[in-house]
Amino acid sequence: MLDIHTHVLPGLDDGARDFDESLEIIKKYINNGYDGVIATPHHYRGRYIPSKEEIIKSRDLLLNQLKKLKIDFDIYLGNEIFFEENTINELENKEVFTIAGSRYILIEFPFLGKINYAHSLIYQIQLSGFMPIIAHVERYQVTEEEFEFMEKIYNAGALFQVNLSSLKDPSSKEYKLVNKILDRDMVQFVATDTHSLNKRNPDVKDELNYLKNKMGERWYQEVVIDNPYKVINGEFVRKTEIKESLEKNKKKSFFEKIFRRN
């Protein structure tokens, strides 16, 4: 199993502080059934802009330590890119990491769901030759009416990633939204978004079991296990059509239902 979103590399952003913490996090990954990660340090102007060289150096030092300890664990490189006006230029000039050198990028948007041109940004990114994976979509607090923006962005071609940690607290807004997005079959990736041993960490066995029960074995194999490897191999990741909500479906007439094409 491969985690596509993590801040496990030390000293680059608000993730792991030092190599000791990174090593402890990796041990936790292994205990939870992971063989590797795509390290995605923040690329967020005004907050964290580690250079590509710093990221490579941090990864190489960590891999060396793992080798010494005879711990077998893969670390691919990426970035969690905070979208701003310069992002497409930076991508074209190779100033940020795509995921493991593929066309896939992990991206977060300011105020997604609140800006009505978000879907056109998704088109622009694709026209520049990149495939956007939207990080932790459930953390954009969209209201019931604003959910249409989610659908628009999804239909514009974005792939959706949700955080496993959002399934921890059933009373949270994120829990409700992540379940809604799952019910509508709009999820292509789940990830830990690990920042430390405590905050969003790799202890996700319960959440993975929850997903297996809720979504079934086939979905689990495709989304949880296979899709991250498809990304690092530059292969196509399948998206499903948005499932209609139960309420909407109930409102449809008998004839509309029997004449539905799919």
* Positions that interact with Fe ion (CB under 5 A): 80, 193
Distance CA 208, CA 137 (A): 18
CB of 262 to Fe ion, least distance (A): 35
CB of 7 to Fe ion, least distance (A): 6
Nearest to 80, CA basis, from 13, 159, 26: 13
Distance CA 65, CA 77 (A): 17
The DSSP output letter for 59 is H
CB of 69 to Fe ion, least distance (A): 26
Distance CA 209, CA 189 (A): 15
Distance CA 7, CA 77 (A): 11
CB-based burial label for 154 (10 Å; 0-12, 13-18, 19+): buried
Q: Can you tell me which residue has the tokens 């309420």?
A: 247
Coil/strand/helix, residue 7: coil
Instruction: Name the helix (H) or strand (E) containing 212.
Output: helix 205-215
Q: Which is nearer to Fe ion, 7 or 184 (CB)?
A: 7
CB of 88 to Fe ion, least distance (A): 21
Q: How many CB atoms lie within 10 A of CB 20?
A: 11
Q: Which is nearer to Fe ion, 29 or 184 (CB)?
A: 29
Q: Which is nearer to Fe ion, 110 or 216 (CB)?
A: 110
CB of 76 to Fe ion, least distance (A): 15
Q: Which is nearer to Fe ion, 80 or 138 (CB)?
A: 80
Q: Which is nearer to Fe ion, 83 or 184 (CB)?
A: 83
Residues near 94 by Cβ (< 8 Å), separated by ≥ 6?
none
CB of 163 to Fe ion, least distance (A): 8
Phi then psi for residue 190, to 5 deg, are -120, 150
CB of 188 to Fe ion, least distance (A): 17
Q: Which is nearer to Fe ion, 40 or 184 (CB)?
A: 40
Q: Which is nearer to Fe ion, 193 or 207 (CB)?
A: 193
Tokens linked to 66: 């793992």
Q: What angle do CA 58, 86, 227 make, to 5 degrees?
A: 55
